[in-house]
Amino acid sequence: MFASRKVLVVDDDSVVGHSINRVLTGQGYQVREAMSGSEALEELDHQRYDMVFTDIRMPGMDGLDMAARMKKSHPELPVVVITGYGTEASEKKARDLGVAGFLRKPLSPETIIDNAERVLRERDETLEAIRLSALAMMSPAAATVPDAAAVPEATTAPATEGRENVAKNVALFFAAPFIGLAYILAAPFVGVWAIGKYGYRKLVKKQ
């Protein structure tokens, strides 16, 4: 299911390391073994891995100290802790460090495969959720551009009224000379009509 994923196995017991290597390689994983915590940290400085299996009890740096350092430099890297002497205190410390799993020896092939698949699936889901959240924050269009159906009519009315006013002013500008000419031509007729009306009223009063 997760073929070509790279897994780092850290255990000072070569038998355990080889066993995990054989099981995961048979499922298509690329597996690298490290015999100590310092060797594993050095390996991470040069190669990218998708997950880590590590024992707790190892000479020098134990598995929990190594996991803590890994989580600081590679917070996205899931670490599964394996132990044959697990205690509630060590398991709690592992959980507090944010490890992806805590397994007890002896390990069956099914346990190794199931945990590898679970951890990588959860890792991919987390990374995808982070990616989508980042895209949503980087793309303001959805937040700043309102839906056309939600825009009130008042936002478009001023623009329409402005265009109508401009059209009226242009029409009046071109019509003004013709209106003035019409007044000039009609003035004599209006004057004659007014004089005739005034004389008619005087004649009626005299009678």
pLDDT of res. 2: 56
Q: How far is CA 114 from CA 1, 80, 119, 200, in A?
A: 11, 12, 9, 118
Please compute the mean of the pLDDT values over residues 202-206 and round it to a whole number.
44
CA distance 107 to 53: 12
Strands of the sheet with 6-10, listed across from one edge: 30-34, 6-10, 51-55, 79-83, 101-104
Residue 67 has pLDDT above 90, yes or no: yes
Q: Which residues of 171-202 are buried (b: 16+ CB within 10 A; e: fewer)?
A: eeeeeeeeeeeeeeeeeeeeeeeeeeeeeeee
Closest CA to 156 of 169, 170, 146: 146
Please compute the mean of the pLDDT values over residues 62-80 and round it to a whole number.
94
Cis previous bond, 78, omega within 30: no
pLDDT of res. 32: 97
Which domains occur in the chain, in start order?
A: 6-142 (3.40.50.2300), 154-206 (no CATH)
pLDDT of res. 84: 81
pLDDT tens-digit map of 104-148: 888 999 999 999 999 999 999 998 998 898 888 887 654 454 554
Measured at the CA of 24, the angle between CA 20 and CA 26, to 5 degrees, comes to: 120
Given CA atoms 111, 114, 118, 121 in this order, what sign does their dihedral have? positive
Global confidence as pTM: 0.64
CA distance 123 to 74: 13
pLDDT tens-digit map of 35-53: 999 999 999 999 999 999 9
**Using an 8 Å Cβ cutoff, are 56 and 10 in contact?**
no
Residue 53 burial (CB < 10 Å; 0-12/13-18/19+)? buried
Given CA atoms 143, 147, 151, 157 in this order, what sign does their dihedral have? positive
Confidence of residue 199 (pLDDT cuts 50, 70, 90): very low
